[in-house]
Amino acid sequence: MATQLKTLNDWLEWQQKLHPANIDFKIERIKSVFNRLGINKIADKIIIIAGTNGKGSTVSILESLLFQANLKVGAFTSPHIQRYNERIKINKEEVSDDEIIEAFKFIDDKRGDISLTYFEFATLAAFYIFNKNNVDYAVLEVGLGGRLDATNIIDSDISIITSIGIDHTEFLGNTIDSIALEKAGVMRPLKFSIFADDSPPSVIMKYAKNNSTTLLVHQNDFESRIYNDYWEWSGKKFKKIKLPLLPLIGDFQYNHASAALMALEILEPSIFIENDIFKDAINNIKLLGRYQIVKANPEIILDVAHNEDAANKLKSNLEKYPKKKTRAVIGVLKDKDVYSLVKPLISSVDKWYCATIDSERGMNAKEIATRLEGSAKNCNVEEFDKMSSAFSRVLSESSYEDRILIYGSFYTVSEFFEYSQSLQKVFNE
């Protein structure tokens, strides 16, 4: 059947029905298919990034630094926001539909009777495309966890763990220690692993020691300090490198940038000798949906925050700016804890617009509203059966001085982009 498929959308729709589960940690299946592909290596050097939050930021930072250093870099991320092609990039450019379809056809021909999930197809497609393009570096974002994630079927040269928080408890466990151990699975013996936060859980440190992994920790083995108009980084060898401020909002983003620089000090130290690349590399970092301000008046902020840690960081970012009347459009997936997502922002939001995401995985707006109202008394809450209806209402009710926050899921942000594009089409007709 698959061989009859023509468009990228055809392939993606077929993949979503191919395997009985969206997430399947039986990693032997994808290992078996990968071996059938006959790919000797996907890149000269491989960096894998795990963590609860901050993976996408770290990929973007590494991608920009390596590209500016004239190294050919392939990046694999998930999920996408606007286009599937966002998941696979060569030198910061999305690969074409034709390239992805070619990869899908090759994988489908080789897999035999082994079924693959949507994410596993994407992972193998990225590996195929990176191999075909002879990239110097492959930068891989873990999809879920680490130990049993599809991206972890090959050995990386260095691993980065950005943060540990409570998320995906049905797959990773409901404690910090259990989640940390799953993410520690990306570490490799006799290789370096970098922890971007300041205090790794003790199980991470124990895992590294037991597996002969050299663990480097932010503000211990490498350091960053933020000033008014620049920031400073020090590694093991290179000290007090002065750098321009990141175009990403939030002090926590400097943890991710610091981890990225530490990885490159180990793998590509020549970058630091020719450190004139840093200014352009940092200024050209682009990342959708991470405290992304898409309009000034009313201020519209998009954020893919979908767990408690991310919601707390979102609150911290909001508090850096003057208080405004704030309206929040929230859409979440069924497996998320609404309470942990809204609690940090209760005092910041004046009205909530709860909406149902256009996905089988989306939580019903009524359920979101019920859980939200149970989290705080006297919340101003309205329900919508479609995200587009919520967007329309919040825009019609907002004044020039208001702030509109759109968050809760990658899906929520994605649907706003679709909605805004439809408005542009209307305006242009």
Q: List the chain pLDDT tens, one digit each, 429 residues.
A: 566 899 999 999 999 999 888 878 889 999 999 999 999 999 999 999 999 999 999 999 999 999 999 999 999 999 999 999 999 999 999 999 999 999 999 999 999 999 999 999 999 999 999 999 999 999 999 998 889 999 999 999 999 999 998 766 666 777 999 999 999 999 999 999 999 999 999 999 999 999 999 999 999 999 999 999 999 999 999 999 999 999 999 999 999 999 999 999 999 999 998 778 999 999 999 999 999 999 999 999 999 999 999 999 999 999 999 999 999 999 999 989 999 999 999 999 999 999 999 998 899 999 999 999 887 777 899 999 999 999 999 999 999 999 999 999 999 999 999 999 877 644 343
Give the whole-angstrom CA distance, residue 363 versus residue 234. Answer: 44
Q: Where in the chain is the domain with CATH 3.40.1190.10?
A: 2-283
Q: Where in the chain is the domain with CATH 3.90.190.20?
A: 292-428
Q: What angle do CA 146, 148, 154 make, to 5 degrees?
A: 80
Burial class (CB in 10 A: 0-12, 13-18, 19+), 294: middle
User: What class is the 292-428 domain?
Assistant: alpha beta
Tokens (6 digits) for 101:
């379809």
pTM over 0.85: yes
Peptide bond into 200 cis (omega under 30): no
Q: What is the pLDDT of residues 207-265, one digit of tens each?
A: 999 999 999 999 999 999 999 999 999 999 999 999 999 999 999 999 999 999 999 99
- 263-267 long-range contacts (CB < 8 A, ≥24 apart) are 263/47, 263/62, 263/158, 263/160, 263/192, 263/194, 264/62, 264/65, 264/66, 265/222, 265/235, 265/236, 265/237, 265/238, 266/158, 266/192, 267/45, 267/47, 267/157, 267/158
Give the whole-angstrom CA distance, residue 387 versus residue 63. Answer: 32
Identify whether the C-beta of residue 409 lies closer than 8 Å to the C-beta of residue 401: no
Domain 2-283: CATH superfamily is Mur-like, catalytic domain (3.40.1190.10)
Q: How many CA atoms lie within 13 A of 70 on its CB side?
A: 5
Tokens (6 digits) for 223:
């350091």
Supply the pLDDT for residue 426: 41
Q: How many CA atoms lie within 13 A of 5 on its CB side?
A: 23
